[in-house]
Amino acid sequence: MLVQEQITVSTRGRGTYDISSDVREVVARAGIDTGLCHVFVHHTSASLILCENADPAVRRDLETFMANLVPDGDPMFEHDDEGPDDMPAHVRTILTQTDLTLPVSQGRCALGTWQGIYLWEHRTAAHRRQVTVTVQG
């Protein structure tokens, strides 16, 4: 069996957005017991992360780390068509990931106790991001 659905994530700008429940709902509707769930974001300036879900400081620390690693407005970047966060957002996406593959066991995503699925928006402005969730088993 194969099920595929799109999720739209409205962001308020740079930061992480918990999409765990959206993905869990797609998996539940798929009605499979054992298989795989693939999650893919259709953008070059947002990414997906599997991250600690208990303490939001973890995600704030990741943002602080990334801001130091790839600062907005860095003069080494030529591509700035959409502003000083344009190329840094692309670099952040390449350094992270645009897809996740998760096991499905007993009809649910087999995540660890403290794991959550997040869309990481790398642009400072609000965006509507498209995520495809494919479940097979």
pLDDT in tens, 38-85: 999 999 999 999 999 999 999 999 999 999 999 999 999 999 999 999
Best CA proximity match to 89, nearest among 58, 61, 37, 124: 124
- 123/15 Cα distance (integer angstroms): 9
Q: Are 66 and 131 in contact (CB under 8 A)?
A: no
Predicted pLDDT at 71: 97
Q: Where are the alpha helices (DSSP H) in 39-133?
A: 56-69, 86-95
Q: Give the pLDDT of residue 107.
A: 97
pLDDT of residue 97: 96
Backbone angles phi, psi at 45, to 5 degrees: -135, 25
User: Residue 116 is part of a domain; what is its CATH number?
Assistant: 2.60.120.460
What are 39's strand-pairing partners? 100, 133
Q: Return the pLDDT at 87.
A: 97
Report the C-alpha gap between 50 and 112 in whole angstroms.
Answer: 10
The predicted pLDDT at position 111 comes to 97
Confidence of residue 128 (pLDDT cuts 50, 70, 90): very high
Cα 65 to the center of its chain, rounded Å? 17
Phi, psi angles (nearest 5°) of residue 110: -90, 75
Structural domain count of the chain: 1
List all residues 6 or more positions away from 87 whose beta carbon is below 8 Å from its beta carbon.
Answer: 74, 77, 78, 79, 80
Q: What is the pTM of this model?
A: 0.96
Domain extent for 65: 2-136
Per-residue pLDDT tens for 73-121? 999 999 999 999 999 999 999 999 999 999 999 999 999 999 999 999 9
| 129 DSSP 8-state letter | E
